[in-house]
Chains A and B, each alone.
Chain A
Amino acid sequence: MAPEQILSVNKLSLSRQSGKTDIQLVHEVSFSIDQQEIVGLIGESGCGKSLTCLSLINLLPRIIRADSGEIFFQGTPLNDIKSSMMRSLRGKSMAMILQNPMSCFDSVFSIRYHFKETLQSHGMGWSKNRCRHICDALAEVGFENPKEIIDLYPFQMSGGMLQRVMIALALIMKVALLIADEPTTDLDLVSQNKILCLLAKMREQHGMSILLVTHDLSVIARLADRAIIMQQGKIVDSGSVKAIFAQGQHHPYTKALLNAHFNLYGSHLERSELEIC
């Protein structure tokens, strides 16, 4: 049986109005993600990766318009659904982890509160059992003392720790799709490694599909099954990671990326196994 298609994006176009003209930000982007697949979306800063992610969950900034395109999530079209339905999908079926996690958490509320409001917004009550579930989720993402973490405030934790809390929030809701927007960009090497291992674990043990957005080809090399390469709002290349890394006909931008990667890291495809974590 063919793997279920979790996400399907068809000819998505986004633009912004500047003065009297329209600036095209994303142009007819199409891709899909299957169940338990990790798809990497790579491109330089400003090429439209983050906007594409935000449009998937319908949280584009007001000045950005979606001109055309269809988005299907688990077979359901997302284009014209009611906003209350969209809201209930967010965080429960599709989760997103953002870069610079320190600015994403609300420093006047504890970690416990963040979990509580997420659970309560999706109709899951708050009880002693929930506390245990949260501690389990936190342990799952690598915290040794979840009971201590739960009472901390965000400003008392590091970026890497908060990134893991974000993953725990996705885990506890048992999301089907996790959109990771540059999850390793602001982190040190050790934390980067931890996060990437964690993402692999989410796919292996919890069946999540992951859209991994990054500007770092080595992250793709390590984790993704397929890669999509964007440049200036357009998809210029895509395919399995093996195919991308193999020598062959590629788009000039892809070639440039590969060359840069090989110059920095050497010429083989690094595959992370769980043992490295």
Chain B
Amino acid sequence: MLLFILKRLLALIPLLLAISVLVFLILHFGNNDPAMAYLRLSHIPPTDLALEAARESLGLNRPLSVQYLDWLGKAVRLDFGMSYVTGKPVLERLLYYLPNTLYLAGFSLMITIFLSLPLGIISALRKDRWPDHLTRAMAFVGVSTPSFWLGFLLVFFFSVKLGWLPALGKGGITHVLMPAFTLSLMSMCINTRLIRASMLEQMNSRSVLYARVRGIHEKRIVGSHILKNAMIPVVTAIGMHIGEMLGGAVVVEIIFAWPGVGRYAVSAIYNRDFPVMQCFILMMTLIFVFCNLGVDILYAWLDPRIRYREGGKA
């Protein structure tokens, strides 16, 4: 098992390097002009001479590979540059907002898992009866609902009309309920359908038949054989949900004025604050990559075939 984890960690390194190359290239070929931004921040009029001098001092005339290595070196030392807007270190600001986003995403993930699990299981066990039909209909509708519409609908009902929940900002648990639910809806519906399909596939499997042939109690069959096998694809899907939530959090933070990195990143885009944007994408991608690694490890722990195939002990 340890060997498996080690192999996966090592495989990450070239991937992370490749990601950094891509981000750097996109940054370079975009409308990014650090020289201009530098002059603006220093309140120096951007004459051609000044621009040229700025470019020279910022090292923008060096070959691309040198610039990349320089950039990478700084990134590894956690120096992502200064904001074009504030002139202050970018990473600091993002790290200030990050916990809020993680709190929101984490809460959403909890909601997703705790609601989709029973719904999916009941839907499969009561196939073609009314709980199944209802759940499937709700899941289908949920998947088609834009989160930025749902958010406002919830605010309208629970804040404007009923006054039960606060509409904006971060605070106690009442503040996080609506944003987290809005963020979780898409993943919850996808997960419910996935659990249902996975369970149905297991319920009709030959190993379940053989377990019945041996006279195993039905409860035990459902609890161990069906559930454990059915959860394997679901665990893998958690990685996808996390990606969905990291992206969706941006929209939800805007709707509910939640002080997270997503909201900060959007304002950075308006302000063409490239250092913030680049740090944002690297940060979120890193989180995503490590979450996926965690999911892979969990998957290998659940399914001995994966561990065995990758050369570890079964």
Asked if chains A and B are in direct contact (CB within 8 A), the reply is yes
Residue of B nearest to A152 (CB): B314
From A89, A98, A121, contact of B220 by CB (8 A): A121
Nearest Cβ distance between residue A211 and chain B, in whole angstroms? 14
B228 touches A108 (CB 8 A): yes
Number of interface residues of A (CB under 8 A): 28
Bound CA–CA A117/B211 (angstroms): 9
Chain B residues, CB < 8 A from A96? 213
B211 touches A106 (CB 8 A): yes
From B213, B220, B224, B314, contact of A59 by CB (8 A): B213
A91 touches B213 (CB 8 A): yes
A81-123 residues with Cβ-Cβ distance < 8 A to B are: 87-92, 95-96, 98, 100, 103-109, 117-118, 121-122
A90 touches B228 (CB 8 A): no
Nearest Cβ distance between residue A265 and chain B, in whole angstroms? 31
Bound CA–CA A95/B214 (angstroms): 7
A169 interface contact, C-beta 8 A: yes
Q: Which of A91, A108, A118 has the most CB of B within 10 A?
A: A108
- Give chain B's interface residue range (CB within 8 Å of chain A): 20 to 34
A89 touches B215 (CB 8 A): yes
A153 interface contact, C-beta 8 A: yes
Q: Which of A89, A105, A106 has the most CB of B within 10 A?
A: A106
Nearest Cβ distance between residue A149 and chain B, in whole angstroms? 13
| Stretch from B130-138, B240-248, B298-306 that touches the partner | B298-306
Bound CA–CA A161/B193 (angstroms): 37
A217 interface contact, C-beta 8 A: no
From A90, A108, A109, contact of B214 by CB (8 A): A90
B305 touches A169 (CB 8 A): no
A153 touches B305 (CB 8 A): yes
New A-B pairs, 20, CB < 8 Å, besides A107-B305, A108-B304, A121-B217: A57-B213, A89-B215, A90-B212, A90-B213, A91-B213, A98-B213, A100-B206, A103-B207, A104-B209, A106-B211, A108-B228, A108-B229, A109-B224, A117-B224, A118-B216, A121-B214, A121-B216, A122-B215, A155-B305, A169-B214
- Interface residues of B, Cβ cutoff 8 Å to A: 205-207, 209-218, 220, 224-225, 228-229, 232, 302-305, 308, 314
10 A-B residue pairings within 8 Å (CB atoms): A57-B213, A59-B209, A88-B215, A104-B206, A105-B210, A108-B229, A118-B215, A121-B216, A153-B305, A153-B314
